[in-house]
Amino acid sequence: MKLKDYGLTAQELKDKTQKYLIELCDRFPFVGETAKGMYVYDTDGRAYLDFYAGIAVDNAGHCNEKVVAAVKEQVEQLMHVFNYVYTIPQSLLAERICTTIGMDKIFYQNSGTEANEAMIKLARRYGVTHYGPKKYEIVTARQSFHGRTLGSVSATGQPGSGIQANFGDLTPGFKYAEFNDLDSFKEAITENTIGIMVEPVQGEGGVHPGTMEFIQGLRKLCDDKGILLLLDEVQTGWCRTGEIMAFMHYGVKPDIVSMAKAMGGGMPIGAICARADVASAFAPGTHGTTFGGNPVSCAAAYAEIGELLDRDLAGNAKVMGPYFMEQLKQVPYVKEIRGLGCLVGVEFEEGIDALAVKHKCCDLGLLITALDSHVIRMVPPLILSKEDCDTAARIIKEAVEALS
């Protein structure tokens, strides 16, 4: 859709948005009309260098040609039939994902939170059917983020936050422990625990990478206790951190892993992959979805993942992430720069407001996200170059200087 075809100005469109949408987001002030590669363009044709990629989604670049072609072809061929029918994209994508990341089985969903719901449900069913009716507790991390549906909200370790408060009783069966603190997880495990669920890098919680000792320690702890390691790779998956999946950094394998965001190259899709014996805890009638495994989303994901692998965009993220973090050292008033691959956070000293930095960067032509009052996060498309990193770091520096 083009704005001019509807006889509207950008302001009129924004007014309609404010009037009719339940607005839950701090929007940039422009109307995005097109996007290509590293750039988003507004209705006046102004280019914005994109260092947030629709929050870690457009990993192979905006409107990647192969993804666009795959969607166009599939849309004209078969859009939706439900999972009664075998479809080509669904099956070929399943093989591509399972063989690439070394997991046995996949179940498709439509989003990250839904993938996590499936992961939680599968682990709980596995526990209850194998070990008895009380074996369904899951230990998750404080400051984690697992999504916005009630199960994922309950798994999210942020009691009292806007994410969890004032929704009445949350789903029982979750305990929270300290991220990057193995002893805290050990203490939280009881005879009713069936699994541990963490993000390898806490994204929304402020960009905190799991340490080698912690993630490897969780794997060993799960093995020793005979419980499941559940990794939420919704944000870290599909090359973001410099490996295809972040668990590959740590040399461990989860029993179930969830994914979404980048997997579809901009089309909505999520999934869980599981060990075969764990996956068999789901049987017909125990879980399901109308749109999960939709042929168009699967065709897009098949093309996106092909691009990520063929162009070794994990390799590019592994080089560009550290390079970008090095360039960010020129930014003043920084308390800490942290991240893994191209999932990068900058924590500012008191007095620098992350939201103000985000908006100033936008004025200067760069798109980033603000996580809390002091942390900005950059999750650019993984096709980025050193020049893009230079430009982004320079703009962030200018923005902070202008605000201080």
Give the footprint of ligand PLP on this chain (CB under 6 A): 55, 111-113, 116, 145-147, 199, 203-204, 232, 234-235, 260
By C-beta, is 112 or 293 nearer to ligand PLP?
112
By C-beta, is 146 or 360 nearer to ligand PLP?
146
By C-beta, is 199 or 255 nearer to ligand PLP?
199
The residues facing 367 across adjacent strands are 50
CA distances from 252 to 24, 132, 210, 248 (A): 37, 28, 13, 6
By C-beta, is 112 or 254 nearer to ligand PLP?
112
How is residue 37 written in tokens? Answer: 């590669």
Shortest Å, Cβ 43 to ligand PLP:
26
Shortest Å, Cβ 369 to ligand PLP:
10
Shortest Å, Cβ 76 to ligand PLP:
27
Residue 174 and residue 156 in contact, taking contact as beta carbons nearer than 8 Å:
no
Q: What is the three-class DSSP state of 67? A: helix
Shortest Å, Cβ 147 to ligand PLP:
4
Residue 120 and residue 176 in contact, taking contact as beta carbons nearer than 8 Å:
no
Residue, CB closest to ligand PLP = 112
Residue 122 and residue 272 in contact, taking contact as beta carbons nearer than 8 Å:
yes
Shortest Å, Cβ 124 to ligand PLP:
18
Burial class of residue 168 in the structure, from the number of CB atoms within 10 Å of its CB (0-12 exposed, 13-18 middle, 19+ buried):
exposed
By C-beta, is 198 or 227 nearer to ligand PLP?
198
By C-beta, is 301 or 399 nearer to ligand PLP?
301
Separation between Cα atoms, residue 219 and residue 284, nearest integer Å = 30
By C-beta, is 341 or 395 nearer to ligand PLP?
341
By C-beta, is 200 or 321 nearer to ligand PLP?
200
Separation between Cα atoms, residue 90 and residue 95, nearest integer Å = 9
Outline where DSSP puts E strands in 292-342: 334-340
Residue 340 and residue 249 in contact, taking contact as beta carbons nearer than 8 Å:
yes
The angle at the Cα of 300, spanning 299 to 305, to the nearest 5 degrees, equals 100
Separation between Cα atoms, residue 306 and residue 264, nearest integer Å = 11
Shortest Å, Cβ 203 to ligand PLP:
5
Shortest Å, Cβ 63 to ligand PLP:
20
Shortest Å, Cβ 146 to ligand PLP:
5
Query: Which one-letter amino acid corresponds to residue 168?
Result: G
Q: What is the three-class DSSP state of 345? A: strand
